Amino acid sequence: MKNYLVKWSYKRAIQLAVGFYFLYGFYDDGNFFFLLFGLMMSAQAILNVGCFSTKGCNATTSTETFTKEHPVVKDIKKID
């Protein structure tokens, strides 16, 4: 369990808190929207998936390293 929680970021913790907030809203009010949104947000936080980014549904982790791609440079030769 400790290894699972070590990989959590602040985004996942906030997402889980928002999911629980909406689940409590369903419990308190009975609105079906609260249940759907609360389950969706909680499941995304627990399973580490997400669809709220420009990358699609891939969730990033803090252990991934990103490298900046270098542009392709072509030599220009003068034609005689």
Amino acid identity for residue 3 in this structure: N
pTM: 0.57
User: What distance in Å separates the CA atoms of residue 55 and residue 64, rounded to the nearest whole number?
Assistant: 14
CA 11 to chain centre: 7
User: What distance in Å separates the CA atoms of residue 66 and residue 80, rounded to the nearest whole number?
Assistant: 43
Per-residue pLDDT at 70: 67
* Per-residue pLDDT band at 9 (split at 50, 70, 90): confident
Cβ-contact 34, 22 below 8 angstroms: yes
Q: Where exactly are the structural domains of the chain?
A: 11-47
Mean pLDDT of 30-48: 89
